[in-house]
Structure 1
Amino acid sequence: MTTIQGYFDPRFEAVRDLFAEQQSDEQARGAALCVTIGGETVLDLWQGVMDKDNQRVWEQDTLVNVFSCTKPLGAVALLQQVEAGRIELDAPLASVWPEFAQAGKESVTLRHALSHRSGLSGIAAPLPPEALFEWDTMAAALAAQKPWWTPGEAHGYAPVTYAWLLGEPLARLSDERPGAYINQNVCQPLGMDFYVGVPDSELDRIASLSRLRNQYGDQYARALFAAMGRPDELSFKAFGNPSSMMTSSNRREWQQAEIFSANGTGNARSMARFWQLLAHGGSLDGVRLLDDELVSLMQREHSHGMDRTLLAPTRFGLGVMLDQDYEGGGFGMGARAFGHPGAGGSLGFCDPDAQVGFGYVTNTMGPYVLMDPRALVLSRAIYAVLRQSD
């Protein structure tokens, strides 16, 4: 067993102990936790190993795929285009992506896409595995796809197509590749050690992913996994077409692609930094990410109810999840918290009332649909300390 490393404010020693205790699970491999309050870092911890053979210790600069925790970075990139006046939230995506205006999608707007109301959660036509790494192939398939429901009338999470649904308009609006734009205009200004498309020089720092065995998640996870076994259902198409979505997370092709719906690679420190700024309305200490009115709009409820993809009740703002209506579905803090979990257990969010920025990452993937209990117990413990000090 490796020793927990990093820094903690003595007020949060109980949280550090909980984090250390998680490493005692015989299946645990590696994880990191970073929490900011206001402009101050109060926890910056890491522990475990980064490889499947338990030979490489998790280091301060270890990177890991955080899956859908990347989505809010892509959302911010699009909202920066709104702020710059290049597109309006209620403008049709086809206004910048003319090929998209087919199969009943003429009225699909940027707001629909950001809030998972576009009806484009998956691609129905079977795609070969290699299509996932061919940007133009995926963009063309999505442009040809008929919505699974009337856009705007329901919502369903878009786990992977989100990258093209937003990324193709982003590329046309910014004249840059989506990953390059996010790296240059979201990550670098904040000093984030985070990539959408990892350069060759950083590949050796990436932790290898594995899955927890003999764990089955909650009722919603079980329903989703059952649906993912039925090839004609939306959930299967959303998560399993192309099939390489489910098998590529440790491959170089995945790590270096620019699929900002799912393949961002970074660390807990970088995620906490991103959410620290959003907790403060988009700017802090002279660093500005987004206009505060747009940050407020991000956290306004746009979708609420049964999710047609996840088969669970969900709430979304613009590019972010909101606190959910059932036990275990929220962020473990205040009612205005917002952020995004990633497949397998990673979590990034903020609580604007408590001014908390939170980042948790792991390379031992759990089976939960929304919040993983490992991250949730830590956030609840942090909130308990904050309430005691009020």
Structure 2
Amino acid sequence: MNVEGFAEDGYDEVRRVFERLVDSGSETGAGLSVWRDGHEVVRLNGGWSDAARSRPWRGDTLVQPYSLSKSFVTLAALVAVRDGALALDEPIARYWGEYGVRGKERTTLRQVLTHQAGQPRFPAEAAGLDLLDDEGLRKSLAQAAPEYEPGTSLGEHALTYGHLVDGVLRTGAGTTLGEMFNDVVRPALGLDAWFGVPDHALDRVAELEYADPGWPQQLHAAPWLQIPAGALDTARTNSRAWRQSVFGAANLHTTATAMAAFFSRLTSEDGPVRELLGPQLHTELLTSHVTDFDEVFGTDITWTLGFVRDKGKIAKGGIGGSAAWWSLRHHHACAYLTRRLDDHSRAAQIAAALGDDLTVVGED
């Protein structure tokens, strides 16, 4: 498999690592982008975008990065806060009356965005629902008791994050998650990224595949990903119906260049994220809000509103191996997006070549 693209002087080791991943077969289709000082210094494309290996991976190949999607759900929610339709610390039940039952009466949007709302998975009652039954899944969350008292524990809301935010947006802001992202957030940030891939971009979407047939059962996060069935089933996630749906916790489709460009401007005081949200919410977005043991990750973690943060980076990864981050130490941004569902060791090798530590970015 060939690797095409460019790496500017000083990034030779990054190119060598990426080429080694592709040549060894550890990677069968991926894009890598690094940005520094406002421009792209690395853009490498390797392998194929389809299982038949007939379409080479290109710079504009779209792929689903699973939980990296959640950061953009956060932005959609914060636009509604900016507009005064929602508030971070008001009970969700103020807007979504059906939700305020069985111990969730005081759950806030801030608790949802920092994975403290006590609903890290859909309830057992949702087991019979279809993966794309948005209304049914939202209703199951509204009717369910939380697994723990909101605000007292931590666990990434692995599949529920988008449905919780969508429910609040629908009732409090009179819009949907898909509409808020695609009509407001995406154009404001200039993102080649979609919740619900439009017809004209479907031919750019990469097919997901397992590195190992047993991969879904080997995951630490597997217990949080079983309801509803299908989120890790490539027969579903490679379907047109899934690609054109909005499942906010998982199915943003985007490119490596788009994600690295976004992270390169994430913290900027004159960048598009701050312009979109305003100074106060931009600061809220990036501030560390909670540090605790995250049961879904299986380790201690610090959450901002939508990102993982430590002394070296602001980041978000997705199950299957995709990750993007801003290096607080080295002031560059990187995105590694893959269609070959495996652990994060490939992105970690790229990070090491850049002098970064990619510990704790997504559920393995």
TM-score normalised to the size of structure 1?
0.84
CA contact (8 A) 1:29 1:49 kept: yes
The number of residue pairs the alignment matches comes to 354
Report the RMSD for the aligned CA atoms in angstroms. 2.3
What is the aligned partner in structure 2 of residue 95 from structure 1?
94
- Specify the code of the residue in structure 2 equivalent to 1:293: Q
CA distance in 1, matches of 2:64, 2:7: 24
Equivalent of residue 289 in structure 1, options 259, 276, 279? 276
CA distance in 1, matches of 2:200, 2:67: 24
Residue 336 (structure 1) shift: 4.5
Deviation string, structure 1 residues 101-125 (Cα, Å, up to 9, x no partner): 1111010001100111110111222
Residue 190 (structure 1) shift: 2.5
Deviation string, structure 1 residues 343-385 (Cα, Å, up to 9, x no partner): 111112213454322211011111x3xxx1211221222237x
Residue 216 (structure 1) shift: 7.4
Tell me whether 1:261 sits opposite 2:237 in the alignment: no
What is the aligned partner in structure 2 of residue 77 from structure 1?
76
CA distance in 1, matches of 2:329, 2:173: 33
Using the aligned pairs only, state the percent identity. 27
CA distance in 2, matches of 1:153, 1:112: 10
Residue 320 (structure 1) shift: 1.1
CA contact (8 A) 1:126 1:242 kept: no
Residue 263 (structure 1) shift: 0.4
What is the aligned partner in structure 1 of residue 324 from structure 2?
348
CA distance in 2, matches of 1:129, 1:198: 26
TM-score normalised to the size of structure 2?
0.90
CA distance in 2, matches of 1:355, 1:190: 20
- Specify the code of the residue in structure 1 equivalent to 2:326: C
The 1:101–1:361 alpha-carbon spacing in structure 2 relative to 1, beyond 3 Å, is: same
CA distance in 1, matches of 2:99, 2:247: 19
- Specify the code of the residue in structure 2 equivalent to 1:242: P
- Specify the code of the residue in structure 2 equivalent to 1:239: L
The 1:303–1:193 alpha-carbon spacing in structure 2 relative to 1, beyond 3 Å, is: same
Deviation string, structure 1 residues 67-105 (Cα, Å, up to 9, x no partner): 111111111111122222222211111111111111110
Name the SS for the 2:23 alignment partner.
coil
- Specify the code of the residue in structure 1 equivalent to 2:321: G
CA contact (8 A) 1:279 1:357 kept: no
What is the aligned partner in structure 1 of residue 130 from structure 2?
131
What is the aligned partner in structure 2 of residue 314 from structure 1?
301
What is the aligned partner in structure 2 of residue 388 from structure 1?
none
CA contact (8 A) 1:30 1:50 kept: yes
What is the aligned partner in structure 1 of residue 239 from structure 2?
251
What is the aligned partner in structure 2 of residue 377 from structure 1?
349
Residue 191 (structure 1) shift: 2.2
CA distance in 2, matches of 1:350, 1:292: 19
Name the SS for the 1:43 alignment partner.
strand
- Specify the code of the residue in structure 2 equivalent to 1:85: G
What is the aligned partner in structure 2 of residue 151 from structure 1?
150
Name the SS for the 2:193 alignment partner.
coil
CA distance in 2, matches of 1:140, 1:154: 23
CA distance in 2, matches of 1:81, 1:187: 14
Stretches of structure 1 lacking an aligned partner (at least 5 in a row): 229-235, 324-334, 385-390
CA distance in 1, matches of 2:213, 2:243: 27
CA contact (8 A) 1:23 1:47 kept: yes
Structure-to-structure mapping, 1:9-20, within 5 angstroms: 9-20=8-19
CA contact (8 A) 1:160 1:239 kept: yes
What is the aligned partner in structure 2 of residue 326 from structure 1?
none
Single out whichever of 143-152 and 179-188 deviates more from structure 2: 179-188
Single out whichever of 308-317 and 136-145 deviates more from structure 2: 308-317
CA distance in 2, matches of 1:297, 1:336: 19
Stretches of structure 2 lacking an aligned partner (at least 5 in a row): 357-364
Structure-to-structure mapping, 1:1-390, within 5 angstroms: 1-2=1-2, 4-127=3-126, 131-213=130-212, 224=220, 228=222, 236=223, 238-247=224-233, 248-281=236-269, 283=271, 288-323=275-310, 335-352=311-328, 354-366=330-342, 368=343, 372-383=344-355
CA distance in 2, matches of 1:69, 1:223: 17
